[in-house]
């Protein structure tokens, strides 16, 4: 079994289809896990980034894009 979900599949599910957005979302979720938020997926890893990537891959954590109204 792979430790991480396949990147190409994660990018297909990512609303922006951007590696940057995916990395930013995974980092933010991993930080939440480190601060004590409970994981919403059960996997064999205890690493926060791995857990965050699996949560995003399974659609349990959604990457939302900011509105474009504030962008110039």
Please indicate whether residue 27 or residue 68 has the higher confidence score (pLDDT). Answer: 27
Instruction: Give the predicted TM-score (pTM) of the model.
Output: 0.78
**CATH class of the domain comprising 7-65:** alpha beta
- Using alpha carbons, select from 17, 43, 49, 45 the residue that is nearest to residue 30: 49
On the CB side of 28, CA atoms within 13 Å amount to 11
Residue pair 16/63 in contact (Cβ under 8 Å)? The answer is yes
State both tokens at 37: 């938020």
Residue pair 5/13 in contact (Cβ under 8 Å)? The answer is no
What pLDDT shows up at residue 62?
Answer: 77
pLDDT in tens, 24-34: 889 999 999 99
Return mean pLDDT, the chain: 82
């Amino acid at each position: 079994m792979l430790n991480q979900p396949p990147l190409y599949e994660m990018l297909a599910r990512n609303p922006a289809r951007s590696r940057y957005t995916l990395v930013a979302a995974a980092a933010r979720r991993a930080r939440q896990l480190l601060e004590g938020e409970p994981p919403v997926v059960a996997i064999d890893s205890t690493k926060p980034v791995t857990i965050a990537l699996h949560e995003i891959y399974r659609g349990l954590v959604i990457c939302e894009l900011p509105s474009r109204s504030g962008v110039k």
